[in-house]
């Protein structure tokens, strides 16, 4: 099942994707794809009514409606840094022995085709195509890595936008360079695990202005999604609807020589197998 949200920012309604052109409206069945929804069983509650509505022809065209992030604002956005060895190498950093964890403000979440805004005082804004994990159950102290599969609600395409000057040159934790408004476009949909044959072997790419900048695969992750979820559960409680960004392959702007930074007017396009395509235009500061 593919969960989506459509409508104006802050007023999105939950729908289930049928195909590239149509969806089933489920806003009368669930309030939103949020903590309460995932905590109460998530997509399993929708399987029968969605199938019945498709059979009855109760589908609607996307038309020119805005597509929002496929989940409501989560309790937390957790991020794993340097999770691809070749990305660590391009940034001049060592391959980590354990997952590197940082946080990102939940209000960075925007839709897959919304504008990305460069913050005031920035000059080194960068792109990062990433696989996002959405948690489906309140989780802590998982017994083993295999148990992680049971607490994952699905997967989503994410662009983990970063302002490298804030992140690397202003002291403290990385969150300053990760938490500006619009810095976490996500979607277009959340794919439930049954829609993804092998989450550890998904191709991923990102273009800037039509030029391929990142090409990679989740098969080269240092820590795969199940390892990440198990690991995080040993340190904190994961809530239903939480989003985990799992790291990016090589090709970020910081890794080029000379380095390349986003500017107003640039356009990013990105994709992960099975998770759709997103397109974001870069705009200047407020």
Task: Give the per-residue pLDDT at 130.
Answer: 98
Which has the closest alpha carbon to 249: 102, 88, 115?
Answer: 88
Which has the closest alpha carbon to 136: 156, 108, 110, 160?
Answer: 156
Task: Give the per-residue pLDDT at 16.
Answer: 98
Task: Give the per-residue pLDDT at 58.
Answer: 97
Is residue 90 very low, low, confident or very high in pLDDT (cuts 50, 70, 90)?
A: confident
Compute the average pLDDT of residues 150-162: 98
User: pTM, whole model, 2 decimals?
Assistant: 0.96
Compute the average pLDDT of residues 223-248: 98
pLDDT digits (tens, 9 = 90+) for 127-152: 999 999 999 999 999 999 999 999 99
Task: Give the per-residue pLDDT at 93.
Answer: 72
pLDDT digits (tens, 9 = 90+) for 39-64: 998 899 999 999 999 999 999 999 99
Residue for token digits 């910081």? 254
Task: Give the per-residue pLDDT at 150.
Answer: 97
Full set of structural domains in the chain with CATH:
2-61 (no CATH), 77-283 (3.90.850.10)
């Amino acid at each position: 099942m593919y969960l989506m949200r459509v409508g104006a920012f802050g007023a999105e309604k939950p729908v289930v994707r049928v195909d590239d052109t149509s969806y089933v409206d489920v806003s009368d069945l669930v309030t939103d794809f949020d903590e309460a929804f995932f905590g109460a069983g998530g997509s399993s509650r929708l399987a029968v009514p969605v199938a019945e509505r498709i059979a009855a022809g109760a589908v609607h065209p996307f038309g020119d409606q805005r597509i929002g992030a496929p989940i409501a604002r989560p309790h937390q956005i957790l991020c794993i840094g340097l999770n691809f060895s070749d990305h660590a190498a391009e940034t001049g950093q060592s391959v980590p022995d354990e997952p590197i964890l940082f946080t990102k403000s939940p209000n960075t979440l925007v839709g897959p085709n919304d504008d990305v805004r460069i913050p005031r005082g920035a000059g080194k804004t960068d792109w990062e195509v990433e696989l996002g994990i959405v948690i489906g159950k309140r989780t802590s102290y998982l017994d083993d890595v295999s148990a992680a599969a049971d607490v994952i609600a699905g997967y989503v395409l994410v662009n983990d936008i970063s302002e490298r000057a804030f992140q690397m040159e202003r002291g403290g934790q990385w969150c300053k360079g990760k938490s500006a408004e619009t810095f976490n476009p996500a979607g277009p949909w959340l794919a439930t695990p049954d829609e993804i044959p092998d989450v550890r072997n998904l191709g991923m790419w990102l273009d800037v202005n039509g030029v391929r900048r990142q090409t990679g695969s989740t098969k080269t992750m240092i820590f795969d999604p199940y390892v990440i979820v198990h690991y995080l559960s040993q340190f904190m409680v994961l809530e239903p609807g939480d989003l985990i960004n799992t790291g990016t392959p090589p090709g970020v702007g910081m890794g080029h020589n000379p380095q390349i930074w986003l500017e107003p007017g640039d356009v990013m396009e990105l994709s992960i197998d099975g998770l759709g395509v997103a397109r974001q235009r870069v705009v200047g500061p407020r």
